[in-house]
Amino acid sequence: MMTTTRRAFLHTTLAGVAAAAGSSALPALASQGAAGSLRHPLTGAVGLQLYSLRHIFQKGDVHGTLAMVRQWGFTDVEVAGFYDLAPADYVAALKKAGLRAASIGGGYEQLRDDADGVIRNAQAVGANYVMTAWIPHERPFSRDVAQRAAEHFNEWGRKLKDAGLRFAYHVHGYEFQPGADGTLFDLIAKNTDPAMVAFEMDVFWVARGGGDPAALFRTYPGRFPLTHLKDIRKGTLLCDPTGTAPDETSVVLGQGMIDWPGVLAEANRQGTRYHFIEDEHPEAEKQIPDSLRYLASLKL
């Protein structure tokens, strides 16, 4: 399975048309006892991108899966769909689990065609940020598509700001195609208003696409209030700006190729507000607790 399935996933689940696939037992918790708080050296909050557990959510036990997330110690999450629940019922499930939605995903087409609906979803869950994770395009990603996306981002950012929300584009790797003046990500960043458009740095995809995550923080200070913390398996080809990779290349933080002390120290200097662990591995629930232990072990 390739991770580009996310664009279809976000579009359908956040539109409220995803169906549950029955129920099954949840995996064992990483540790028993009352849910605690997370230990880490980051100045921003550490949360979980719930897309990491899509394969469990789709089996039908939303309440049990959210309870597991809280048991791991998370309090902040980034929402990736409501599954078979109405927004109000999903909000109730989050509240029951002791979780708060800091951010929510919205598909590019949804924002283009029904921005008001995306705003309603974000306001329903109490999110501060709305992020979109994929710009529809034919390969290779082109300057014309990047320029059009920048125009859309400014438009949507203004509309969301008027609604009390913050728009963020999730960097996905294909933006590191070379352009006339730097990369196509540079084109997007330079042609979007910082007051309207923020970015979410997915560290895996930046590295996969050929970017330098720490350098990107320095080049665009203050533009990355959000991150996805995701490590990339050793031996995986870098400098591949396609925005695709097998899900199995997502590994426990600290076991892959990312220089986490360097990246996270720069994130601290830049004041990143939320770091969402995102693990796209098919058995992410087995890896996430180890990623939390790695973060707790870091000294920045």
d(CA 37, CA 46): 10
The separation between CA 262 and the C-alpha centre of its own chain, rounded to angstroms, equals: 20
Nearest by Cα to 277 from 211, 226, 216, 220: 226
92 vs 10: which has the higher pLDDT: 92
Nearest by Cα to 77 from 95, 100, 97: 100
Domain limits, the chain: 5-19+36-297
pLDDT over 50 (residue 15)? no
Q: Tell me if residue 167 falls in helix, strand or coil.
A: strand
pLDDT over 90 (residue 193)? yes
CATH number of 5-19+36-297: 3.20.20.150
Q: 198-245: per-residue pLDDT in tens?
A: 999 999 999 999 999 999 999 999 999 999 999 999 999 999 999 999
Pseudo-torsion of CA 202, 15, 79, 122, nearest 10°? 100
Q: 72-107: per-residue pLDDT in tens?
A: 999 999 999 998 899 999 999 999 999 999 999 999
